[in-house]
Each structure stands twice: as structure tokens, then as C-alpha cells.
């Protein structure tokens, strides 16, 4: 399942509600990096909302490896969030967004494809949360446009692979697939 929406749309809360209703164990894969006080506060709020019995895995870069380590388990994997992971890839894996080109975009997208393949091969059910960033103004910088394009293409890959897709707007989920 893929849950998408704008920033602060309620998509994480919706995905968490779905996970709370799951009868099986929940594994929460958090991709966020704490780089400033605002992000620290955001991560704190997310942690407070999660039940203590959920197993949290904090992994900003190596999602394929993190999911591979869970392949022998049953349960529900909640990944929050795809867009954060893409940001981390651009900045942390020497994918210099100022030098962005089709090869680097393909490298990042191939990691998304590998991630989806590993999910498909395992037994975990999965909810992936991702931002919808392409509805606003055209970003004024090459870096912003590169991220928008990468995020949009990755969202399309995830949505195509997902059995269900929800768009969350103003806290209201709308099933679109």
C-alpha cells in the first residue's frame, strides 16, 4: 500500500492508524535524519505516536538491507517516508544534486526498484508513506527541480507496485487505487 499527500496532510497519521488495526507485529522503518531542532521535534512527535510494542528501525539510507534483514518475519512494515529516503540519497550517497544528471537519477531510481523487489520477495505486508511534491510551483533551483522529478518518478514506481494507493488531503484519505 502507498499513502501519499502533501506536507502535513495527515498521511503519516493515516498510515499509523492502518498499522494500529493490524493484528500482526508492526515494524516501523523511519528514514528521517535529525539535522536541526525542527526535525528533532518532528521525530519526537512521531515517536510519541507509535506504540511501544512496534519495533522501530531507523535507517536513512540502506533500506534494501534493512528490509532484507526482516525477510524471515511475518507482520506489517510501515515505511515513513519514501521522500525522506530520496533526500538522503541525494545528499549522503555522493549524488550531488548540483551535478544531477540522468545517470544519477537512474542510480537512485534503481535503488527504489531494488527496494520494491525485496519487499515483493518477502512475507511482510507493507505501507509506504511518501510526499506528493509536484503540485506546487516549479522549484526555483536546479536542486529543487531534480528532487521534484526524482520524487515524482519514485512515487510512480511505488504506486504501480502497490495494491492500494491513498491520497491524503487535509487529514482525509481518498483511495485512488
Sheet with 2-5, strands from edge to edge, namely 55-58, 26-30, 76-80, 125-131, 2-5, 165-169, 172-175
103 to each of 91, 109, 143, how far by Cα in Å? 16, 10, 15
Distance CA 33, CA 43 (A): 9
Beta bridge partners of 57: 29
| Residue 53 annotated among the catalytic residues of the structure | no
Distance CA 154, CA 79 (A): 14
Among 11, 46, 50, 104, which one carries the catalytic annotation? 46
Q: List residues with catalytic annotation.
A: 46
Amino acid at each position: 500500500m502507498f499513502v501519499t499527500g502533501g506536507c502535513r496532510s495527515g498521511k503519516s497519521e493515516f498510515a499509523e492508524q492502518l498499522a494500529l488495526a493490524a493484528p500482526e507485529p508492526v515494524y516501523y522503518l523511519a528514514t528521517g535524519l535529525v539535522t536541526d531542532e525542527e526535525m528533532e521535534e518532528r521525530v519526537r512527535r512521531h515517536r510519541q505516536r507509535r506504540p511501544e510494542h512496534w519495533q522501530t528501525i531507523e535507517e536513512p539510507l540502506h533500506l534494501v538491507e534493512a528490509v532484507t534483514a526482516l525477510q524471515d518475519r511475518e507482520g506489517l512494515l510501515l515505511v515513513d517516508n519514501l521522500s525522506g529516503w530520496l533526500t538522503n540519497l541525494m545528499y549522503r550517497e555522493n549524488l550531488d544534486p548540483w551535478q544531477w544528471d540522468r545517470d544519477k537519477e537512474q542510480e537512485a531510481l534503481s535503488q527504489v526498484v531494488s527496494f520494491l523487489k525485496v519487499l515483493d520477495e518477502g512475507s511482510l505486508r507493507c505501507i509506504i508513506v511518501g510526499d506528493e511534491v509536484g503540485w506546487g510551483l516549479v522549484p526555483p533551483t536546479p536542486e529543487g527541480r531534480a528532487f521534484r522529478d526524482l520524487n515524482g518518478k519514485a512515487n510512480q514506481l511505488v504506486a504501480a507496485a502497490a495494491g492500494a494507493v491513498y491520497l491524503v488531503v487535509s487529514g482525509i484519505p481518498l483511495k485512488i487505487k
